[in-house]
Structure 1
Amino acid sequence: MSAVSTVPSSSPSSCAVMRSMFRLVLAQETIRKQRDSGHRPQKIAEMTLSQLQEDKAFLKRLLNGLDKAFKQKNGRLPTKQEKEVYRPIYEEYRKIKDTINNHPAQNQHHAASSLSDMTLQRMKSEKRALQIHLNKFEKSFRMRNGRKIQYQRDIISVKSEYERYMQLKAALAAHSQTSNRRGQGSRSSSHHSTRMSSPDSITAITTTSTATSTPLLSLGFQSQSEMSEGGQGSIEGGTLASPLKSSQDTRAETE
Structure 2
Amino acid sequence: MRAREITPLALDSYQRAARVILSNHLITSTYPDRIALPLLRRWATELRDDLLELFGYRLEVTETTARLFTVSDRLNPSAPARTASERTFDRTRYAYLALCLAALGRAGNQITLSELADHVAADAGQVDGVELSTDRASDRDAFVDAVGWLGVRGAIALADGDANGWASNPEAGEALYDIDRSVVVALFRPPRALQHLHSIRGLLAVETSSASEDDGIPVDAKEIGRRVRRALVERPVVLAGELDQHELIALAQPKTASEVELLTGLVAERRAEGIAMIDP
Q: Give the TM-score, by structure 2 length.
A: 0.20
Higher fraction of helix? 1
Higher fraction of strand? 2
